[in-house]
Amino acid sequence: MGKAIRIHITGSPEVLQWEDVEINRPGTGEVHLRHEAIGLNFIDVYHRTGLYPLPGLPAVLGMEGAGTVAAVGEGVTEFQKGDRVAYAGIPPGAYAEERIIPAHRLIKLPEAISFQQAAAMMLQGMTARYLLYGCYPVKAGDVVLVQAVAGGVGTIVCQWAKHLGATVIGTVGSDEKVALARAHGCDYPINYTQDDFQLRVREITDNQGVNVVYDSVGEPTFNKSLNCLKPLGTMVSFGQAAAPVPPMDIGLLAAKGSLFLTRPSLMTYTEKREDLLAHAADLFKVVESGAVKIEIRQTYALKEAAQAHRDLEARKTSGLTVLIP
């Protein structure tokens, strides 16, 4: 028996309940994992509200965690009791002291990476990896626009893009976050509460536009993000933290310069075991080198997950956040 945050209905943060849950023995191909830290991500909000439906209710939220292997099921040869591991992605269930998880979703942690760092960075760091290498391969000399650059994914993308030789423009919602963005290598942070980011991007780029926009905000920024692109530029819409993007006339892409548009997900990019390991290896390499620093800016007890969700939705958090069982 262990403790977990479960939902029985979708809705506001109040539906998050701290409850006793039964932990079964790991079956074939499964691992019994004891969490040391759990990541907080906006996809958890989407699951809680029902925007992204879960397979069924009641359900334990959470897509990212790190901890120690407590036991392994039949057929598991890659891991053994005591191994330090982390994961990101399906199936949900991270908001728990311990859980059963398919072994093929786990990744062994290097000694240089702490449990809290891993829990904070696996989902958002591997997201950054597919954004920068998969959706649009960023190269030296590129100019990129990162919406919400002071957020968890944003701070990682910013540092990593700089490491690849790009110029980074980013949007934030306060002067405090302007400073945070600069501290993570953003060349041109724009406070969108004071300036029109579309006009500022055109000024910064001498009206040329950017090669790629990474936008996890959704409807409020989508059209202006398209307007920030140079001809043949790439729009990567990878989230909808503010509101979903409504249906659009794809003819707009032609009218605005034969633009490319993609709506990717980490689950697709890491569905195959070899791709998951490649994403994790690249992330570990860039973190261990010091090119990308993983700074945890908020920590909550797991049982206080409802407050963590309130703060996340109210834009009171910045950077990376972990929940501690």
Is the previous residue joined to 189 through a cis bond, with omega within 30 degrees of 0? no
Distance (Å, whole) CA 152 – CA 320: 5
Give the residue carrying structure tokens 């790439």. Answer: 234
10 Å Cβ neighbour count for 237?
23
Position 242 scores a pLDDT of 82
Distances (CA, A) of 306 to 7, 21, 170, 318: 11, 18, 29, 17
Position 232 scores a pLDDT of 98
Position 37 scores a pLDDT of 98
Position 90 scores a pLDDT of 86
Distance (Å, whole) CA 152 – CA 90: 19
Per-residue tens of pLDDT for the chain, all 325 residues? 899 999 999 999 999 999 999 999 999 999 999 999 999 999 999 999 999 999 999 999 999 999 999 999 999 999 999 999 999 998 999 999 999 999 999 999 999 999 999 999 999 999 999 999 999 999 999 999 999 999 889 999 999 999 999 999 999 999 999 999 999 999 999 999 999 999 999 999 999 999 999 999 999 999 999 999 999 999 999 988 888 899 999 999 999 999 999 999 999 999 999 999 999 999 999 999 999 999 899 999 999 999 999 999 998 988 889 999 9
What superfamily in CATH does domain 2-122+294-324 come from?
Medium-chain alcohol dehydrogenases, catalytic domain (3.90.180.10)
> Would you list the domain boundaries of the chain?
2-122+294-324, 140-263
Q: To which H or E segment does residue 202 belong? A: helix 197-204
Q: Going by C-beta distance under 8 Å and a sequence separation of 6 or more, which residues neighbour residue 190? A: 169, 170, 171, 172, 197, 200, 201
10 Å Cβ neighbour count for 295?
14
Position 59 scores a pLDDT of 97
What's the CATH fold of domain 140-263? Rossmann fold (3.40.50)
Q: Going by C-beta distance under 8 Å and a sequence separation of 6 or more, which residues neighbour residue 109? A: 66, 84, 85, 86, 115, 118
Of 191, 235, 237, 233, nearest to 216 by C-alpha is 237
Written as one string, the DSSP assignment of 124-155 is HHHHHHHIIIIIS---TT-EEEETTTTBHHHH
299: burial class by Cβ within 10 Å (0-12, 13-18, 19+)?
middle
